[in-house]
Amino acid sequence: MNRKKEILIAIIAIIMMIIIGQSYIIHNQARFDGDRVCSKNPNRFYLNFNLMNKDDSETMVLNEGETLHVSWQIDGGKADVVITMADEIPIYRADKCVKGENADFELTVPKTGEYTTTISASHAKGWLEVWETKHWW
């Protein structure tokens, strides 16, 4: 093989490695494409995501005995969902949830304090909603 062909092959190989490396970095960087709602109601956290590749959380001040409604669905990728009070054992945890997994239930708050709902997603699609239900009786 002559010298010009060797140089051309080396240049093409280097360009291909750069393209593959950039694609990997872009694919795995923290991203969110969707809707996030929490500002109008301080005790509601809602995410609807077409692509989520990051962590997100929201903190609510809740009183003992109040009820949280927890609802989520994963349509692609994977995600972990945790609801916890600082330095306490989580009151809810769902790890490595994948396509087709979902939840819809109510949870009683065990004691007064700040509770943080966290979702850690990897290439995920789906939605999550946590809100304090008000009982009027």
Question: Mapping DSSP to helix (H, G, I), strand (E, B) and coil, where does residue 103 land?
Answer: strand
Question: Mapping DSSP to helix (H, G, I), strand (E, B) and coil, where does residue 3 land?
Answer: helix
Report pLDDT for 27.
56
Report pLDDT for 136.
46
Contacts with 28 (C-beta within 8 Å, 6 or more apart), sequence order: 53
Prediction pTM value: 0.74
- For CA atoms 40, 46, 50, 56, the dihedral sign is positive
Report pLDDT for 26.
58
Report pLDDT for 137.
43
Mark out the alpha helices in 1-137 (DSSP H runs): 3-28
Report pLDDT for 25.
58
Report pLDDT for 83.
96
* Residues of the chain scoring pLDDT < 50: 136-137
Report pLDDT for 30.
63
